């Protein structure tokens, strides 16, 4: 009996240690990725990377200025498209909707959220590229904006729900109409949470590559307009990583470091905004 | 974020007592209609997406019918398209990925939910969340320059020496292939398994653990024989979620799978996946049938992830409600 108890205790200790090992391995992956990117990317990052156009094939040097600006343009347009739909739709869900309409909208949003990004790309291609017969910044931004909608929508709804009822009632009791209550009491009370959600949505689509492959395409020069194909950091990383040139690999690492750095900073910032005081004042 | 808890929004207490006209004057009706338009556009967009995939693939669906999934010739020159190698590649890489990620992910979730002190657990969860935020093209980059050489020079020769009698581990070690794609997928889906499983485990009521411990079980026995079975359906949900991610994953797989449509028992063989073939060929596809066949692949991918995501949500909600009655997932 005693031996059996010892055995059971040994199994317990061993298995619990193993779960710790699993955790350590999983978290170590993050630091490994970060470390490797800093090690490889840090060595190849320089001023040219941020200010120069890509060098012609076969020459070394050059940078990714056009891709950095392209990514910024894509994200700007994507938020202009995705955030209003998500934000106002979220207000509808939280404040106005009955249960049946609400169910349909939530269902659609969850469905959209689960669609693989490459399929979003096909959809954006059919809607924004085929009719105009050329790839464009608009098409890429449309694809990215689509992916921002469900995240913004569901989070807005959730944070609005967490605003205490007493705040609404107080405002209504003062004679404010419902939309005035929403606009000047409920939304301001939940703004931290909503901004966090928008930042997280931005960070998520900033690294998306697949939906851009056949919408924004890529470009080795400055994009000559919103209606033209544009380079973007994720697509540049992809094309440079699978190309056979060492100098391109070096730049892919640098671009990877810049992209991941931005995404992680935005993520941490978003969480910090949320953590600095709760999303809504506790009643 | 993205929780499934929804309380029915309190219909304004005052709404019933005011006439339509006064609400219109206050702007309430206008605000309602405007926000409704935006909410409805989400539904509209989703419907359009489904319809587009359906109509966009009509030609291919009619021409090939079910044979699309049974034949393995992918020949744009002769306009013949069979999707079997891509489906095979998608399924095999996802299975390999999950086989590696599930034990690791659940192990880590058990540690975070059962053993680690609250503060440590929250901090580690923060890192796991950051890991989930790493874009797939970065995983692809690391896959190309680290995982592929590692597999070619060490892992694959090692596996061949140890298990070479199995058909799974035969053939030349290219580095690229099903196994490498599976490993990269595993790294990518682990954060999802950990986050969701941890939440589900945390929602298991405390008295379940205490009862098991009071009956004399060790810490591990109470975890493995009581807590984990209690959270079983939710953990299954997290696995389905991870599976849906793995099936739809494009960039990282495209960069390491080798992009050769082959069906081979060997995991060392280069292959191809549904998402990868769309990514590589869609922008260069000429001819209606070619494009439509690729869109039909997109439709397959969409339906697969749709079913898996639905199942996952259902399972997670069910467990969470059974656990705490609060749906804390």
> Quick one: A176 and A138 in the same domain?
yes
- Decide if A220 contacts A236 (C-beta within 8 A): no
pLDDT band at B325 (very low <50, low <70, confident <90, very high): very low
The answer to whether residues A75 and A197 belong to one domain is yes
Distance CA B31, CA B11 (A): 15
Helix (H, G, I), strand (E, B) or coil at B76: coil
The phi-psi region of residue B21 (left if phi > 0; otherwise alpha if psi is between -120 and 50; otherwise beta) is alpha
Cα angle B180, B183, B189 (rounded to 5 degrees) comes to 140
Domain membership of residue A136 as a residue range? 50-275
CB neighbours (10 Å) of residue B167? 11
Query: Any chain B CB within 8 A of the CB of A21?
Result: yes
What per-residue confidence (pLDDT) applies to B25? 67
Query: Residue B17: what pLDDT?
Result: 54
Write out the DSSP string of A78-96.
Answer: HHHHHHHHHHHHHHIIIII
Query: Mean pLDDT, to the nearest integer, of B297-302?
Result: 95
Q: Say whether pLDDT at B315 is over 90.
A: no
Could you tell me which residues come within 8 angstroms of residue B28 by beta carbon, excluding any fewer than 6 positions away? A177, A178, A179
The reply to whether A58 and A32 lie within a common domain is no
**Contact in structure between A258 and A69 (CB atoms under 8 Å):** no
Residues A90 and A11 in one domain: no
Using a 10 angstrom Cβ sphere, with 0-12 exposed, 13-18 middle and 19 or more buried, the burial of residue A57 is: exposed
Locate the chain A residue with the closest alpha carbon to B36.
Answer: A92
- Contact assignment for A12 to B140 by CB distance below 8 Å: no
pLDDT given for residue A137 in this prediction: 94
The per-residue pLDDT of chain B, averaged, comes to 88
Q: Are residues A157 and A197 in the same domain?
A: yes
Report chain B residues whose CB lies below 8 A from the CB of A99: 8
Most A-contacting residue of B13, B20, B101, B137 (CB-CB within 10 A), to test interface: B137
**Same domain for A184 and A97:** yes
The two structure tokens encoding residue A68? 């950095």
Q: What pLDDT does residue B29 have?
A: 84
What confidence score (pLDDT) does residue A283 get? 38
Answer whether residue A280 is part of any domain: no
**For the residues of chain A, what is the DSSP string, one character each?**
-HHHHHHHHHHHHHHHHHHHHHHHHHHHHHHHHHHHHHHHHHHH--HHHHHSPBPPTT---B--HHHHHHHHHHHHHHHHHHHHHHHHHHHIIIII--HHHHHHHHHHHHHHHHS-HHHHHHHHIIIIITTTTS--HHHHHHHHHHHHHHHHHHHHHHHHHTS-HHHHHHHHHTT--HHHHIIIIIHHHTHHHHHHHHHHHHHHHHT--GGGTTTT---SS---STTS----HHHHHHHHHTSS-HHHHHHHHHHHHHHHHHHHHHHHHHHHHHHSS-SS---
Judge if A33 and A56 occupy the same domain. Answer: no
Residue B69 tokens read as 């999934």
pLDDT digits (tens, 9 = 90+) for B247-274: 999 999 999 999 999 899 899 999 999 9
Task: Output phi, psi for B94, to 5 deg.
Answer: -65, -40
Query: Is A17 in the same domain as A125?
Result: no
Q: Is residue A281 part of a domain?
A: no
Distance from the Cα of residue A145 to its chain's centroid: 10
How high is the ipTM of this complex? 0.92
Distance CA B179, CA B168 (A): 10
Nearest one of A26, A13, A30 to B108, comparing CA atoms: A26
Number of domains in chain A: 2
Question: What pLDDT does residue A281 have?
Answer: 46
**pLDDT at residue B22 is higher than 80:** no
- Cβ-in-10-Å burial (0-12, 13-18, 19+) of B65 comes to exposed
* Rounded Cα gap, residues B101 and B107, in angstroms: 10
Compare CB distances from A88 to B30, B38, B144 and report the shortest one's residue. Answer: B38
**Alpha-carbon span A98 to A104, nearest angstrom:** 10
- Are A226 and A242 part of one and the same domain? yes
Q: Both A29 and A86 in a single domain?
A: no
pLDDT for position B228? 94
Compare CB distances from B28 to A26, A36, A179 and report the shortest one's residue: A179
Residue of A73, A236, A71, A78 whose CA lies nearest to A143: A78
Q: Which residues of A touch B105 (CB under 8 A)?
A: 22, 26
Q: Please check whether residue A20 touches B, CB under 8 A.
A: yes
**CA B295, CA B300: separation in Å to the nearest integer?**
9
The pLDDT, as a whole number, for residue B314 is: 87
CATH number assigned to the domain comprising residue A215: 1.10.3720.10
Give the residues of chain A that fall short of pLDDT 50: 279-283
Burial grade of B99 (CB within 10 A; 0-12, 13-18, 19 or more):
exposed
Contact A158 B112 (CB under 8 A): no
Among A residues 128-187, those touching chain B with beta carbons less than 8 Å apart: 146, 149-151, 153-155, 157-158, 161, 165, 169, 172, 177-180, 182
Residue with tokens 């059996």: A4
A282 is a domain residue? no
pLDDT beyond 60 at B6: no
Alpha-carbon gap: B169 to the closest alpha carbon of chain A (Å): 25
Q: Per residue in B226-253, pLDDT tens? A: 999 999 988 999 999 999 999 999 999 9
How far apart CA A270 and CA A198 sit, in angstroms, is 9
Neighbours of B24 (CB within 10 A): 11
In this structure, the answer to whether residues A39 and A169 fall within a common structural domain is no
Is residue A115 a part of any domain in this protein?
yes
The residue to which tokens 């017969």 are assigned: A133
**pLDDT classification of B37: cutoffs 50, 70, 90:** very high
The reply to whether A247 and A145 lie within a common domain is: yes
Q: Which of B224, B251, B288, B317 to mutate to test the interface with A (most CBs of A within 10 A)?
A: B251
Q: Does residue A283 sit within a domain?
A: no
d(CA A80, CA B124): 34
- Report if residue A94 sits inside a domain: yes
pLDDT band at B302 (very low <50, low <70, confident <90, very high): very high
Q: Please name the residue ranges forming H helices in chain B.
A: 20-26, 28-56, 58-64, 84-110, 118-133, 136-142, 148-150, 156-163, 178-202, 206-214, 219-222, 228-230, 232-248, 251-256, 274-281, 288-324
Nearest to A114 among B52, B134, B244 (CB): B244
CB contact under 8 Å between A182 and B31, yes or no, is: yes
Task: Determine, yes or no, domain membership for A96.
Answer: yes
CA-CA distances (angstroms) from residue A59 to A62, A64, A68, B95? 8, 14, 21, 42
Per-residue pLDDT at B15 exceeds 80: no
Give the containing element (helix H, strand E) for B74. Answer: strand B74-75
The CA-to-CA distance between both ends of chain A, in Å, stands at 57
Distance to chain A for B119, nearest Cα, Å: 14
């Amino acid at each position: 009996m005693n031996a059996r108890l010892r055995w059971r205790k040994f199994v317990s200790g061993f298995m619990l240690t193993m779960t710790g090992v699993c955790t350590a391995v999983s978290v170590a992956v993050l630091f490994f990725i970060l470390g490797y990117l800093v090690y490889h990317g840090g060595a190849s990052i320089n001023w040219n990377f941020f200010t120069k156009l890509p060098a012609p094939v076969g020459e070394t040097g050059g940078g990714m200025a056009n891709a950095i600006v392209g990514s910024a343009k894509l994200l700007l347009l994507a938020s202009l498209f995705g955030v209003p739909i998500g934000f106002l739709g979220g207000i509808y869900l939280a404040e106005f909707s009955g249960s049946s309409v609400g169910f349909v909208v939530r269902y659609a949003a969850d469905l959209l959220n689960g669609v693989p990004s490459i399929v979003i790309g096909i959809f954006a291609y059919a809607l924004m590229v085929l009719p105009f017969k050329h790839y464009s910044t608009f098409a890429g931004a449309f694809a990215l904006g689509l992916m921002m909608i469900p995240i913004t929508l569901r989070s807005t709804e959730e944070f609005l729900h967490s605003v205490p009822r007493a705040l609404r009632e107080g405002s209504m009791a003062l004679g404010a109409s419902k939309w005035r209550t929403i606009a000047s009491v409920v939304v301001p009370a939940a703004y931290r949470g909503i901004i966090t959600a928008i930042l997280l949505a931005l960070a998520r689509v900033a690294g998306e590559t697949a939906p851009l492959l056949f919408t924004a395409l890529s470009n080795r020069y400055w994009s000559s307009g919103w209606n033209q194909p544009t380079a973007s950091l994720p697509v540049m990383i992809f094309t440079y990583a699978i190309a056979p040139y060492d100098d391109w690999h070096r730049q892919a690492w640098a671009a990877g470091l810049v992209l991941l750095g931005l995404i992680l900073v935005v993520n941490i910032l978003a969480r910090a905004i949320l953590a600095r005081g709760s999303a809504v004042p506790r009643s | 974020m993205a929780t499934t808890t929804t309380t029915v929004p309190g219909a304004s207490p005052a709404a019933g007592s005011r006439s339509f006209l006064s609400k219109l004057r206050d702007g309430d009706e206008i605000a309602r209609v405007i926000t409704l338009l935006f909410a409805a556009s989400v539904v509209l967009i989703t419907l359009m997406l489904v319809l587009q995939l359906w109509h966009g693939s009509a030609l291919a669906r009619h021409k090939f019918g079910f044979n699309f999934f049974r034949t393995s010739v992918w020949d744009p020159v002769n306009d013949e398209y069979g999707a079997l190698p891509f489906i095979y590649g998608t399924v095999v890489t996802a299975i390999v990925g999950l086989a590696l990620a599930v034990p690791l992910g659940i192990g880590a979730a058990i540690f975070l939910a059962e053993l680690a002190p609250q503060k440590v657990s929250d901090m580690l969860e923060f890192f796991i969340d950051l890991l989930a935020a790493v874009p797939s093209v970065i995983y692809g980059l690391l896959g190309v320059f680290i995982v592929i050489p590692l597999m070619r020079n060490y892992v694959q020769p090692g596996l061949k020496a140890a298990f070479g009698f199995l058909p799974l581990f035969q053939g030349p070690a290219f580095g690229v292939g099903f196994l490498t794609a599976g490993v990269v997928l595993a790294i990518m889906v682990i954060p999802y398994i950990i986050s969701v499983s941890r939440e589900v485990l945390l929602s298991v009521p405390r008295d379940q653990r205490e009862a098991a411990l009071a009956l004399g079980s060790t810490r591990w026995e109470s975890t493995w024989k009581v807590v984990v079975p209690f959270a079983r359906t939710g953990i299954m949900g997290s696995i389905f979620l991870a599976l849906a991610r793995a099936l739809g994953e494009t960039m990282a797989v495209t960069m390491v799978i080798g992009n050769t449509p082959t069906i081979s028992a060997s995991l060392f063989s280069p292959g191809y996946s549904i998402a990868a073939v769309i990514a590589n060929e869609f922008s260069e596809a000429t001819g209606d049938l070619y494009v439509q066949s690729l869109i039909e692949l997109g439709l397959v991918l969409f339906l697969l992830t749709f079913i898996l995501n639905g199942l996952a949500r259902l399972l997670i909600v069910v467990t969470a409600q059974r656990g705490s009655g609060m749906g804390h997932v």
